[in-house]
Amino acid sequence: MYAVNRPDGPTGGSIDERPRIPPDPIRKVNGQGGSLVETFQAIAYYQEEQERAAADLLERETWAVSRMLLASAPIWHQNPGLTLSFSLDQPGEAVPYRLELGLFSHLEALPAPSPEEKELIASPTPRWARAAPNLERHLAGCTGPLSCSYVPVSMAEAVKCLGLDRIVDQLEAATRTAGQAVLNEARTQDERRARLLAVERMFGWEAESEVDPAAATRAQVALALLGRGSFGSLAPGAVTLGLTTGALYLLVGFSQALLVFLLGLALLVAWGLYVVHTTRGG
C-alpha cells in the first residue's frame, strides 16, 4: 500500500492504492466454490469495482497528461509548428479521422475557417483536435493540413481514446528531438565562439572580464580604509586633517579650526577626483 500526494490534482488529497476487491469473490468467479447465485453476485461486484477503478484511472491519466503539457512548453516554443498526430483504427467510420495535438496557428491560411477552428488557431497553448479530410477544401485546391477540417477535442476524450502510453511515447520522442536540437545549437555556438576568440587574439584583443561596478566601489573603499589601493593616500590625509583640526580648536579657537578643516576637506576631495580621473583614463 502506498499513497501518492497530489495536492493540485482533480480530486486533491492523496491517492490510495489499497486493493479494492476482497480475495473471497475471486474463487467464486473462477468456479472454485460457492453457488451459482454467489458467482453472479461476485461478477457484479467485480464489474462495479472495475467501472469505478476505470473512471479513477482516466481522471488521473487526464491530470497527468495535462501536467505534462504544461511542463512541455519549451518544446512548443522551440517549434511552434510541431504537431503530434495519432492515427486511429476506425473500420466503422464513414470518414476516417485522426487526433492531433499541437498549436494550430498554421491553420490561419484555411479558407473560411469555422468558429471552432478559429478557437484552435487563437489558442496560445497546445490543444487536441480531431482532423478529418474535407472534400470541399480538397476540391478548392487545398493540400496537406489545409485540406482537412478540425474540431476541438477535450483532454479527457483524447486520453480515453488514445491511452496514456501512446501519448507519453510521442511526447518523449518530441522531447528527444527538441533536446538534440538544443545540443546542436550549443555546439554551433561553441564553434563560433572559439573561431571568434582565435581572430580576436590574432589582432591582440583580449576579452575583458566583467566587473560589477558596485563590487568594485566597495573594494576600493575597503582598500582605502586599509591605506591601500588607488584611494589609499586619502585615509592618512583624512586622519591628519582631523588631528590638525582638533589641535587648532584647542589652541586658537573654533573659527580658525573650522576654516582649516574646510580647506583641508576641499583639498582631499580634489585629490580624490584627480585619482578617479587618472584611474579611469588609464
Q: Where does residue 268 rank: exposed (0-12), middle (13-18), buried (19+ CB within 10 A)?
A: middle
Same domain assignment for residues 101 and 132: yes
Domain end, chosen from 70, 87, 120, is at 70
Read off φ and ψ for residue 235, nearest 5 degrees: -65, -50
Asked if 95 and 87 touch (Cβ cutoff 8 Å), the reply is: no
pTM: 0.59
Residue 101 confidence (pLDDT): 96
Instruction: Specify if 263 maps to a domain.
Output: yes
The CA distance from 58 to 26, in Å, is 25
CA dihedral sign of residues 114, 116, 119, 123: negative
Same domain assignment for residues 35 and 112: no
Domain end, chosen from 16, 40, 70, is at 70
Same domain assignment for residues 86 and 108: yes
Instruction: Specify if 66 maps to a domain.
Output: yes
Instruction: Specify if 196 maps to a domain.
Output: no
Q: Could you tell me the mean pLDDT of each successive run of 10 residues in the chain, 282 residues long?
A: 42 50 55 73 89 94 94 90 87 79 91 92 93 90 91 94 94 93 94 93 74 56 48 52 53 60 61 56 49
Q: What is the DSSP letter of 105?
A: G
Q: Which residues have C-beta within 8 Å of that of residue 174, sequence separation ≥ 6?
A: 72, 75, 82, 84
Q: How many separate domains does the chain show? A: 3
Same domain assignment for residues 25 and 61: yes
Owning domain of residue 44: 3-70
Residue listed under C-alpha cell 477535442: 153
Residue listed under C-alpha cell 565562439: 193
Instruction: Specify if 39 maps to a domain.
Output: yes
Residue 249 confidence (pLDDT): 52
Instruction: Specify if 121 maps to a domain.
Output: yes
